[in-house]
Amino acid sequence: MPTLRADAERSTARILEAAEAVLAEDPQASLGRIADVAGLARATVHRRFTSREALLAALAERLNARYLQAMSEARISSGAPRAALERLAESVFALKVANRFAIGLSGSPNAEVFAGMDELFGRLQAAGDITTTDPRWCRGVCLALLDEAFRLPADSPELIGEEVSARAALFVRALLGALGGRP
């Protein structure tokens, strides 16, 4: 994406924030409705995003950037691997709760997110927290469990405590168990 002037960057950020909010309530909302909520002219939205698909792609890209930020903050490369997994799970569920519409935009995270996941799984395996060594299997199980823990009804007996923490704790226990580790 080319470098934008500061005002164009602010407009783009406003459009994306409005899109997240509007599309969470009405997934079929028009670009015009998003422009109204962003407080911008429709032409501005169309200038930045030539189609609905372009806007959705930008939202998916923004979500992947947030996943990468969460990985960095969880210290997956330097912290104790199990603690990093726990921190990452908390961050990911907070992202999922705050970005319910954007979660369904892309079938999977991008290659950079996958590389971070693979690094964390390698560190978990080296520390003896899991026994599985195939990163593709680890990723597949991880993504499936993230989805299942996210879709679990809030009144499930498996979820005890605050929503994000409860989902994260359930996910970590299930993931470690599924990958041959100590819960």
User: What is the tally of structural domains in the chain?
Assistant: 2
**Residue 79: CATH number of its domain:** 1.10.357
pTM exceeding the 0.85 threshold for the entire prediction: no
pLDDT tens readout for residues 64-105:
888 899 999 999 999 899 999 999 999 988 888 777 666 666
Cβ contacts of 48 within 8 Å, gap of 6 or more: 8, 11, 12, 15
Mean pLDDT of 19-39: 89
How buried is 61 (Cβ within 10 angstroms: 0-12 exposed, 13-18 middle, 19+ buried)?
A: middle
Length of the chain: 183
Residues 125 and 151 in one domain: yes
Residues 44 and 81 in one domain: no
Is the confidence at residue 4, as pLDDT, over 80?
A: no
Domain span holding position 3: 1-50
Mean pLDDT value across the chain: 87
Residues 73 and 44 in one domain: no
Residues 15 and 94 in one domain: no
Residues 42 and 108 in one domain: no
How buried is 179 (Cβ within 10 angstroms: 0-12 exposed, 13-18 middle, 19+ buried)?
A: buried
Is the confidence at residue 123, as pLDDT, over 60?
A: yes
Residues 156 and 69 in one domain: yes
* Encoded tokens for 71: 């990985």
Domain boundary among 50, 71, 88: 50
